[in-house]
Amino acid sequence: MKRISIKKICVSLIAIGLTQYTFANVEQFEAVPGEYVVKLKNDVKSLTDLNLEKFATQGVRVISEENNTILVKREFLEKTQFALTALNNQPEIEYAEPNYIYRTNRLPDDPELSKLWGLVNKGNALAGVDIGAEQAWDIQTGSKKVIVAVIDTGVDYTLSDLSPNMWTNDAELNGEAGKDDDGNGYIDDVYGYDFANTDSDPIDDHGHGSHCSGTIGAKGNDGKGLVGVAWNVRIMALKFLTKSGSGSLEGALKSIDYASKMGANIMSNSWGGGSHSQALEDAIKRASDAGALFVAAAGNHSGDNDAKPTYPATYDVENVVSVAAIDNNGRLAGFSCYGQKTVDVAAPGVGILSSTPGGYKSWSGTSMATPHVSGIAALLLSEFPEMTHKEIKERLIATAKPLSQLRVKTVAGGVANAYYALLNEPAPKDPNDPYYWASKEYKLETAHPYLGSTSKQWVIELDSVSAMALHFKRFDTEKSYDKVTFKDADGNILGIMSGVNDDSFSPVVTGGKMIIQFDSDKSVNKFGFEIDAISYR
Ligand code: CA
């Protein structure tokens, strides 16, 4: 191996400022000021032999010795883009990235809203909108052979719902205190590790990781508390998000690599942020090579991930399953990101009750949808231990329960379903989806672009039908400001549409009469809409 002189690296890293750099118009993402994740080229000598303290102006930490990845601290006042350009220009460096900050994908919610409707929905809003857990449990309730790493704010392993289903590192559990008994580089890592505070105790001081863990695998059939999707499983606690719910790229990388090394079958990731990170993508690829499924929250900013990726959910690695959130009426949650090509499947994510150190709480977010899918994957692996992550991902998509609104919003066009996944059968179509009804051509459109300050109403009637819905070939209005309101014959509001909704249906109206009202404000006039058909039955 070629030996790189540490002196040469020092000089080249410090010698910046003489060259004129042109800065691309880069969107700013949250990152730890002055910190950079640096991947050294593989021909750089082993990091242990480098005098790392001299490597940069303010210090260096090793992120992964095996992967030649380090964290470099530089002047806080230095412009991020300037530092990155300077670092990336060094011959010894494969790439350098900001130490991005990631946050939990949770929203606060009303604690009274629901009781585990995501698992079994028998009349909470639209009955049957759930993951089919009740039927699935007749087939499989989970196995202690399956390890799910919850990469999050930690896990309260003292909770009675969670303690029976914690993963333990038995070499450390039965080993000597203060000693790295299994030689994995971490001392006393019994339940996992806390990369946020750099200690061996991944207890949850926030609540988010415990909430996600409860959905995946709160102990079932024990007469107390809640039940998770998998009654039996082993949860590995990897904490990199602090008690405030945020954490850095550095901690994410260490968590993923720990999970890969320690044999996690599934990694559940209810967090996101940052721009594209090659280091994070590489870590997910290593997880994929280790055979682990990487389930990730699609994001909570209502965006189209096809147009603008959300990380880590949108990394194009074969083990990544990106999860959107639905409510208990079977509609995509207003906050949920989506993507016909990039968001794989949806799951319950509004008003989800689960365990936290402060008691049971009902929270919302793609954070809460993600562990439902991780739990289903755990059931699948319990039933079919030989399934690969690629097969699990394909199965989750192929057996999702179709939902009209998700057809153009997710790859699967539906909600992940534990029962049909275990059966390996396609879930039945939704008979209430106008997509499967008869249809006739019908033309109605706004001006393109539409005019400002419009307020216009149309009445659409069809004889001898029991229900109908309008099909929008194109729909593009200024989100939240310019909208179409749908009403029934009596003027009751059926729903409101705004933003981009190409190739989609209006709400369904009972009977053959629908009133649609279009309102625009004074600013930003987009395409408007083009109706090309009515579906009816
Ligand atoms: Ca150890």
Is 241:209 a contact under the CB 8 Å cutoff?
A: yes
pLDDT at residue 123, rounded to an integer: 65
Q: How far is the CA of 362 from the centre of ligand 1 (A)?
A: 35
The CA distance from 306 to 317, in Å, is 15
Q: How far is the CA of 172 from the centre of ligand 1 (A)?
A: 6
**Residue 371: what are its φ and ψ, rounded to 5°?**
-65, -25
**Residue 26: what are its φ and ψ, rounded to 5°?**
-90, 135
Residue 427: closest CA among 123, 129, 117, 122: 129
Options 208, 211, 372, 471, the catalytic residue: 208
Give bridge partners of residue 147 from the DSSP assignment: 234
Is 243:203 a contact under the CB 8 Å cutoff?
A: no
CA distances from 98 to 21, 245, 248 (A): 17, 19, 10
The CA distance from 344 to 336, in Å, is 13
State yes or no: cis peptide before 449, omega within 30 of 0: yes
The domain defined by 113-423 folds into Rossmann fold (3.40.50)
CATH tag, 26-100: 3.30.70
Options 130, 152, 205, 327, the catalytic residue: 152
pTM above 0.85, yes or no: no
pLDDT in tens, 468-491: 999 999 999 998 899 999 999 999
Look up residue 243 and give its DSSP letter. T
- 200 catalytically annotated: no
The CA distance from 237 to 227, in Å, is 19
Q: How far is the CA of 200 from the centre of ligand 1 (A)?
A: 9
The CA distance from 484 to 497, in Å, is 5
Q: HSE, CB side, 13 Å, CA atoms: give it for residue 403.
A: 30
Q: Boundaries of CATH 2.60.120.290 in the chain?
A: 435-536
Long-range contacts of 280-284 (CB under 8 A, 24+ apart): 280/100, 280/249, 280/252, 280/253, 280/256, 280/311, 280/312, 280/315, 281/312, 281/315, 281/317, 282/39, 282/67, 283/67, 283/252, 283/253, 283/256, 283/257, 284/256, 284/312, 284/315, 284/317, 284/319, 284/320
- 152 catalytically annotated: yes
pLDDT at residue 110, rounded to an integer: 44
Look up residue 169 and give its DSSP letter. -
CATH 3.30.70.330 fits 435-536, yes or no: no
pLDDT in tens, 13-59: 322 222 222 333 345 688 988 899 999 888 877 665 555 554 455 77
Q: How far is the CA of 156 from the centre of ligand 1 (A)?
A: 20
pLDDT at residue 476, rounded to an integer: 94
pLDDT at residue 46, rounded to an integer: 63
Q: Boundaries of CATH 3.30.70 in the chain?
A: 26-100
CA distances from 494 to 159, 444, 537 (A): 43, 19, 18
The CA distance from 38 to 91, in Å, is 12
For 108, the token pair is 């606060």
Q: How far is the CA of 262 from the centre of ligand 1 (A)?
A: 10
Q: Could you state, in chain order, the average pLDDT of each consecutive group of 10 residues for the chain (537 residues)?
A: 33 27 49 90 69 58 88 78 83 90 72 67 73 90 97 97 97 96 97 98 97 94 84 97 96 98 98 95 98 97 94 98 93 93 97 92 95 98 98 98 90 97 93 90 95 94 95 93 95 91 90 96 93 96
Quick one: CA dihedral 379, 384, 390, 393, positive or negative? negative
Helix ranges (H only) for 58-197 are: 80-88, 133-139, 170-173
- 204 catalytically annotated: no
Strands (E), 320-358: 320-326, 345-348, 352-356
Options 114, 248, 367, 404, the catalytic residue: 367
Q: How far is the CA of 180 from the centre of ligand 1 (A)?
A: 4
Residue 457: strand, helix, or coil:
strand
pLDDT at residue 11, rounded to an integer: 28
CB-based contacts of 379: which residues, under 8 Å, 6+ apart? 136, 140, 141, 142, 229, 230, 418, 421, 422
Q: Which residues of 473-495 are buried (b: 16+ CB within 10 A; e: fewer)?
A: ebbbbbeeebbbbbbbeeeeebe
